[in-house]
Amino acid sequence: MADDGDRTSASRPTIDELLASVGRGDRVAFSALYDATAPRLFGLIRRLVVDPAQAEEVTQDVYLEIWQSAARFDAHKGNALSWMFTMAHRRAVDRIRSAQASRDRDLRIGVRDLDVPVDTVAEAAETSVEHERVQGALGELSDLQRECVRLAYYGGLTQSEIAERLQVPLGTVKTRLRDGMIRLRTALGVTT
């Protein structure tokens, strides 16, 4: 009786036979299947994924999937190596898509978190100029209109709160605010 070292290539099981044995839980057959196919599967994955470390991870994932799903392989639908190549190709493409989605997500987050340089001096000057324009325009309002506008926009009060505070009807407050805003738009040169 010859030992395994004396076997000729004619007596070695085919990849299809090895996969069938793996499907029955044969660990020795899995080891032989790995030895017979790993260089070709890794080569395919490496060409697709490019990064060697990621290609190794994908190859491990593929062999784990082969171990787990070998029993579902149907030799009538194709040969074992084609089935394994299809699985490897699918896993590699999934990894590429996942990596691209991760890069896109990181880019979106990076753009969102990017600190946009702000010229605080120019911004302060612009705010100051606008404040002066608004103060000048408020000066063109009647005292009653100015009081309602200041309470609404600077005091943060609602129309009902202004009416209560000034002890005037709500309709009066609404009219003063409306007329005051019309005069402010005109004074500031804002068109509606």
Among 55, 133, 145, CA closest to 91 = 55
Q: Crossing angle of helices 120-138/170-188, nearest 10°?
A: 120
Among 179, 183, 96, CA closest to 134 = 183
What pLDDT was estimated at residue 2?
42
List domains and CATH numbers for the chain. Answer: 9-113 (1.10.1740.10), 120-188 (1.10.10.10)
pLDDT tens, position by position, 107-158:
777 666 666 666 677 777 777 777 788 788 888 889 998 888 888 877 788 8
How many angstroms separate the CA atoms of 19 and 77, rounded?
A: 14
**Residue showing tokens 């805003």:** 181
> What pTM value is reported for the model?
0.51
Q: What angle is formed at CA 37 by the lines to CA 36 and CA 40, rounded to 5 degrees?
A: 130
